[in-house]
Amino acid sequence: MFCYQCEQTAQGTGCTKVGVCGKSPEAAALQDLLVEMTKELSAVANPLRHDGWDDPAVNNWLIDALFTTVTNVNFDTVRLEQLLREGATVLTALCAKASTTTPLATLPATTGELLALADAYSVSARREALGDDVAGLQELLVYGLKGTAAYVHHARVLGQEDPDVYTFFYEALAFLTSDGSTDVDALVGTNLRCGEVNFRVMELLDTANTGLYGNPEPTSVKVTATAGKAILVSGHDLGDLAALLEQTEGKGINIYTHGEMLPCHAYPELKKYPHLVGNYGGAWQDQKKEFDAFPGAILMTTNCIQQPRDSYLGRIFTCGLVAFPGAAHIDGRDFAPVIEAALAADGFAETEEPKEITVGFGHQAVLSVAPAVIDAVKSGALRHFFLIGGCDGAKPGRNYYTELAEAVPQDCAILTLACGKYRFNKLDFGDIGGIPRLLDIGQCNDAYSAIRIALALAEAFECGVNELPLSLVLSWYEQKAVCILLTLLALGVKNIRIGPSLPAFVSPTVLGVLVDTFGLTPVSTPEKDLKAMLGN
Ligand code: SF4
Ligand code: SF3
């Protein structure tokens, strides 16, 4: 196997024997085949689409296939093979329609033959053939598309779609099969278009979330346990949580959010349920210890799942596209087995001394107090904004983000989003004239909110986003962070700092281009970076 799509890749260069994430070589091979199938399918579908063809089932398969290969989503070879075989059926029908043929329309009959076939489509084969610059830029696009696909999926299950988004997926993936796909300028251009399209997709998801569940509002969330039976919900899917809240009403079970589900407490239509009692644990990489200690059932709605320990394998459930061999999977949204497991488990014996944090600073909430924020900036009471956000992960270098947040001067505010915030979101940052110094904007896809806030501030101060007293320090781990970075670059945001380490798929030459064109900078030390960002 060869995989270098995430930040924890082995030795910072690539996982070759087994994934650091736990992905088996077999799962990696099937995922390589799935990605290749999305390209072949798009090469056939793209011209048809330009002639007016559309098929929701094919769009859905394409998006699901890409999302499935995001880090920490699907480790289950049986489900991966099933998705491949469904794809072959879809591809065969498309080929018949276009009177053409393509290799993966006919898959070999056995799993062993499938695995052998995957070798030809490995990333290492492409690196050998094309070199690190071109192969890396191609992978950057694939990873950007994977991240965007995750958000397309979230928006779609909540009823928001845009046909232009699917058109771009077909175009971009078809481009990767064309002769032009070795052209560096064309690759950079398509990557930036992926960023633009991802902005649209995050907007769709924002519309879906706020349309169904209301605008997030500043809300105190208990981060301590309440006595009673319990279910912990992790991932990113608001619809799954809403369904579970409905199904557990009056059953004497308390619901806790985990990881990226924390912002759910701020949505009026979710927080109205009194049994949504609090948030439990930290970011995804601490789950083995925390799930082990959680005395109830656990539901994983999307990434990031890690190999479950035997101690909780019987009470962890996956749904949607998440899967881990041995963990029970829920098809659809009937969570009866999760409820049963929660009732059979001990639950929390005691209510802990309550501790609370505040969430819910989406674009609506922040912009409703924009005049106060603008006055504070104008008077000098609020000197600078830092957006410190992105994914969390296991590497010790990620203490950088805690130290940076702690070192931010008292007259500056911190905007944060995604699971990287668990590095500092339980610290007390105080306020500046009533404006909290730590503003939790939401999930990773709420980068959309952060951008809306930045654009509104730029308009108020009659300047560009790059001229605002705002610095972005991002932490990346998986492919959703890749598409968000592409969005920021496509919007012309410069001088972003990124860490804790640089992507292995970005070659030194490509990094040089990103540094020269966008001022993208690797993080160094909190002291040095803070000094540079504050211009002193
Ligand atoms: Fe390695 Fe990350 Fe790929 Fe998993 S997803 S195999 S950790 S590079
Ligand atoms: Fe975290 Fe997986 Fe990326 Fe949505 S939950 S940000 S790492």
Q: How far is ligand 2, taken at its centre, from the CA of residue 411, in Å?
A: 29
Percentage of the chain exceeding pLDDT 90: 99
Average pLDDT over every residue of 329-346:
98
Average pLDDT over residues 163-186: 98
Q: Beta strand 328-330 with 316-319: parallel, antiparallel or unpaired?
A: parallel
Confidence label for 355 from pLDDT (cuts 50, 70 and 90) = very high
Give the three-class secondary structure for 327. Answer: coil
pLDDT tens sequence across 293-305: 999 999 999 999 9
Q: Quick check: 238 and 358 in contact, CB under 8 A?
A: no
Could you read off the pLDDT of 444-460 as tens digits, one per residue?
999 999 999 999 999 99
Instruction: Quote the ligand 2 centre to 250 CA distance (angstroms).
Output: 32
Instruction: Name the residue with the closest Cα to ligand 2, atom 3.
Output: 391
Confidence grade of residue 395 (pLDDT, cut at 50, 70, 90): confident
Overall average pLDDT of the 339-345 stretch: 98
- Nearest C-alpha to atom 2 of ligand 1 is from which residue? 6
Ligand nearest to the CA of 234: 2
- 461 φ, ψ (degrees, to nearest 5): -95, 5
Compute, in angstroms, the gap from residue 421 CA to the centroid of ligand 2.
10
Which of 235, 500, 271, 268 lies closest to 393, judged by CA?
Answer: 500
pLDDT band at 243 (very low <50, low <70, confident <90, very high): very high
Looking at residue 303, its amino acid is N
How many Cβ atoms are within 10 Å of 432's Cβ, its own excluded? 18
Residue-averaged pLDDT of the chain? 97
Which of 480, 482, 498 gets mutated to test ligand 2 (max ligand atoms within 8 A of its CB)?
Answer: 480
CA distance 423 to 388: 10
pLDDT tens for each residue of 50-69: 999 999 999 999 999 999 99
State in Å: Cα 476 to ligand 2 middle.
9
Residues at CB less than 6 angstroms from ligand 2: 72, 236, 259-260, 284, 303-304, 391-392, 418-419, 443-444, 477-478, 480-481
Q: Which pLDDT band, with edges at 50, 70 and 90, does 47 fall under?
A: very high
Exposure b/e, 200-238, CB count within 10 A at least 16 = b: bbbbbbbebbbebbbbbbbbebbbebbebbbbbbbbbbb
Q: Which atom of ligand 1 has the smallest separation from the CA of 10?
A: 1
User: Ligand 1 pocket: which of 2, 13, 15 to mutate (most atoms <8 Å of CB)?
Assistant: 15
Per-residue confidence (pLDDT) for residue 190, from 0 to 100: 98
Which residues are near ligand 1 (CB < 6 Å)?
3-6, 8-9, 15, 19-21, 23, 71
pLDDT in tens, 83-101: 999 999 999 999 999 999 9
- Nearest-angstrom CA–CA distance, 160 and 179: 34
| Ligand 2 atom nearest residue 418's Cα | 6
Q: How far is the CA of 181 from the centre of ligand 1 (A)?
A: 24
**Residue 256 pLDDT grade (very low, low, confident, very high; cuts 50, 70, 90):** very high
The confidence band for 342, taking pLDDT boundaries of 50, 70 and 90, is very high
Atom number in ligand 2 closest to CA 302: 5
Q: What is the mean pLDDT of residues 147-172?
A: 98
Interval 22-45: pLDDT, tens: 999 999 999 999 999 999 999 999
Closest ligand 1 atom to Cα of 19: 6
- Are the C-beta atoms of 496 and 490 separated by less than 8 Å? no
Taking the CA of 123 as reference, the closest ligand is 1
Q: Look at residue 294 in the predicted model and tell me its pLDDT.
A: 98
The pLDDT of residue 40: 98
Task: Please check the confidence at residue 396 and state whether its pLDDT lies above 90.
Answer: no
Mutate to test the pocket of ligand 1, among 2, 5, 73 (most ligand atoms within 8 A of CB): 5
Instruction: Return the percentage of the chain with pLDDT > 70, whole number.
Output: 100
Q: Note the pLDDT tens digit of each residue in 100-149.
A: 999 999 999 999 999 999 999 999 999 999 999 999 999 999 999 999 99
Q: What is the pLDDT of residues 469-526, one digit of tens each?
A: 999 999 999 999 999 999 999 999 999 999 999 999 999 999 999 999 999 999 999 9
- The sign one gets for the Cα dihedral 305, 307, 311, 314 is positive
Residue 245 confidence (pLDDT): 98
Residue 15 Cα: closest atom of ligand 1: 1
- What separation in Å is there between the alpha carbon of 443 and the centre of ligand 2? 8
Q: For residue 463, give both structure tokens.
A: 């300047």
**CB 515 within 8 Å of CB 489:** no
What domains does the chain contain, in order, with CATH numbers? 10-211 (1.20.1270.20), 219-344 (3.40.50.2030), 361-533 (3.40.50.2030)
Residue 378 pLDDT more than 90? yes
